[in-house]
Amino acid sequence: MDRTLIILKPDCIHRNLIGRIISRFEDKGLKIIGLKMMVISHDLAHEHYAVHKGKPFYDGLIRFMTSGPVVVIALEGNNAITVSRDMMGATFGFKAQPGTIRGDFGVSSSFNLIHGSDSPEAARAELERFFSPKELLEYMPAAAGWVYDYSSGKPQ
């Protein structure tokens, strides 16, 4: 099972979309193993977005991500990174397909509602950045056998 980090950004919080977006991940069958609301510090934002340092949008991105509360979510599931990113849609809402989170709720080229890890390496680093090991829970949902086929001994 893969793990990934999702951040519901300040625009998502202020637009009251938290529950609607979390429901999409739950409806898909991804398991929430960590969840918290927080305000990202400037230091944490700089660390998280270091890959973008020097780009024209960097300073605005840091201001935006530290401007209000976010919800950080650790998800687990088969191909969780790919599944989550497909669910999010194209980076800019006006380019995202209907049926995706950004396609259904966004039109901006600045505010894009949600962040998701883009690789297994990024997911590991991002999860460690936002969650302590004690905050990531291990459990088997009662419906897991109806989400995945376990007949081979591993989830399919």
Catalytic sites, residue numbers? 115
3-state secondary structure 16-79: CCHHHHHHHHHHHCCEEEEEEEECCCHHHHHHHCHHHCCCCCHHHHHHHHCCCCEEEEEEEECC
Spatial CA neighbour of 45 closest among 36, 35, 58, 28? 58
CB atoms within 10 A of CB 115: 19
Residue 74 φ then ψ, to 5°: -100, 120
Q: Are 117 and 39 contacting, i.e. CB atoms less than 8 angstroms apart?
A: no
- DSSP-derived 3-state class of residue 14: helix
Residue 132 φ then ψ, to 5°: -80, 160
